[in-house]
Amino acid sequence: MRVTRESLIRIAKETAQERAYNDPEIIAAYLTGSLLNVEPMLGGTADIDIVLVSKNTPTKPREFVKLTPDFHLDISRRGKDEFKNPRELRGDPWLGYEMYDPMLLYEREKFFDFVQASLRAGFEFEQPPLMLQRCRKLLAHARQIWTDLTEVEGQAGPAEIKKYMKSLYHAINTVAEITGEPIQERRLLLELPFRAEAAQNPGLSIGAYGLIGANQVSVERMAAWLGDWKSAFKVAGENPAVDLRIHTTRLNYYEKAIKAILDGENPQAALWPLLSTWTFSAEVLQGDHLGFWQSAVNELGLGENFQERVEGLDQYIDEIEILLDGIAAANGL
């Protein structure tokens, strides 16, 4: 089966129209994510990110629908109330970018143009005041999570590593949003060097790689972990308590992307999707599956030496704060 960006977009439109036809609650649908890019595939896989907007608050915020082993629908639901103050969305680091330039798939009520017009009013969205507002929100979230981590004693487990990576994820995307939209998980460390360079601070890319332990292990070692990672993913995917992202439909989506990055020019960037999904899985695992994850985490310097990494994360967030302050001063803000 030949799959192209165009054929995936066609599936997105057909899906949105079908869902809206069968559900009068849906007032609009739009496409976001990697399919908006010219090259959406990574490792020959991609998902179709569709957002359905409902009249009322949805009861099921997210679902995954398998199309083939390599392609699936990632359907998110939002209530109309989330868009009632569109001008405020300009300062939202996630929803602001999501609504700034998506592809409209379906509309029952005229709401889409109004929201976008408010977001784009006066070409202010990408200017320093709003950019800094979004960045500071992201960094404040990173700092808040970091504060919780300072109370952790001893060896870190899955819950602590998950928090650590969430804080680092927000910090990295603070750097990304200085010059553009946030980076999603599979491509996070792939795109970070370019974003840090564009922000005129390439050291922030080197720092992030160090904080996750990418300089601690070889490419061969990461490749050797894939068997244990895959087993953990499969077992965890059957547990209803696992993080929503660990869904059996998404196994190839992650595995083939990780392998493609390992075979590419920047193989250390594979560590983010590998470790983040392994950590989500480890939260609901026991026995050998948990032990294999813990062993890998220790090799990365994130287990037994966790507080040293938390201190490093503190310094990393400080560096980004200094960068934002410099941009503010340069623009008289």
pLDDT per position as a tens digit, 273-308: 999 999 999 999 999 999 999 999 999 999 888 999
Residue among 305, 293, 301 at smallest CA distance from 213: 301
Task: Report the pLDDT value the prediction gives residue 87, as an integer from 0 to 100.
Answer: 83
Q: How confident is the model at residue 5 (pLDDT cuts 50, 70, 90)?
A: very high
Beta strands 46-54 and 26-32, pairing class: antiparallel
In angstroms, rounded to a whole number, what is the distance separating the alpha carbons of residues 248 and 253? 10
**If you average pLDDT over residues 106-119, what whole number do you get?**
84
**If you average pLDDT over residues 158-171, what whole number do you get?**
97
The pTM (predicted TM-score) of the whole model is: 0.95
In angstroms, rounded to a whole number, what is the distance separating the alpha carbons of residues 28 and 105? 8
Identify the residue with better confidence: 300 or 113.
Answer: 300
Identify the residue with better confidence: 88 or 259.
Answer: 259
In this model, does residue 1 exceed pLDDT 90? no
In this model, does residue 112 exceed pLDDT 90? no
Task: Report the pLDDT value the prediction gives residue 38, as an integer from 0 to 100.
Answer: 76
Residue ranges in the chain assigned as alpha helix (H): 5-22, 86-89, 95-100, 112-120, 128-149, 158-176, 188-198, 203-212, 219-237, 251-262, 271-282, 287-299, 306-330
Identify the residue with better confidence: 303 or 265.
Answer: 265
Domains and CATH numbers, the chain: 5-123 (3.30.460.10), 128-320 (no CATH)
Length of the chain: 333
Q: How confident is the model at residue 122 (pLDDT cuts 50, 70, 90)?
A: low
Determine how many CB atoms are found less than 10 A away from the CB of residue 227: 10
Q: CA-CA distances (angstroms) from residue 15 to 6, 80, 196?
A: 14, 20, 37
Q: CA-CA distances (angstroms) from residue 331 to 131, 171, 324, 326?
A: 12, 22, 11, 9
Reading the block at residue 216, the tokens are: 């601690």
In angstroms, rounded to a whole number, what is the distance separating the alpha carbons of residues 78 and 56? 8
Determine how many CB atoms are found less than 10 A away from the CB of residue 129: 12
**If you average pLDDT over residues 98-106, what whole number do you get?**
92
Q: pLDDT averaged over the chain?
A: 94
* pLDDT tens by residue, 124-146: 888 999 999 999 999 999 999 99
**If you average pLDDT over residues 217-228, what whole number do you get?**
97
In angstroms, rounded to a whole number, what is the distance separating the alpha carbons of residues 72 and 125? 32
In this model, does residue 158 exceed pLDDT 80? yes
SS3 187: helix
Residue among 218, 239, 222, 215 at smallest CA distance from 275: 222
Q: How confident is the model at residue 60 (pLDDT cuts 50, 70, 90)?
A: confident
What letters, b where the CB count within 10 A reaches 16 and e where it falls short, cover 185-196?
A: ebbbbbbbbebb
In this model, does residue 214 exceed pLDDT 80? yes
In this model, does residue 2 exceed pLDDT 80? no
* pLDDT tens by residue, 306-315: 999 999 999 9
Tokens 């992201």 locate to: 138
**If you average pLDDT over residues 236-253, what whole number do you get?**
95
Give the amino acid at 232: A
Task: Report the pLDDT value the prediction gives residue 290, as an integer from 0 to 100.
Answer: 96
Determine what percent of the chain is predicted with pLDDT higher than 90.
85
Strand order in the sheet with 46-54: 62-68, 71-79, 46-54, 26-32, 103-107
Determine what percent of the chain is predicted with pLDDT higher than 70.
99
Task: Report the pLDDT value the prediction gives residue 3, as an integer from 0 to 100.
Answer: 85
Task: Report the pLDDT value the prediction gives residue 109, as an integer from 0 to 100.
Answer: 78
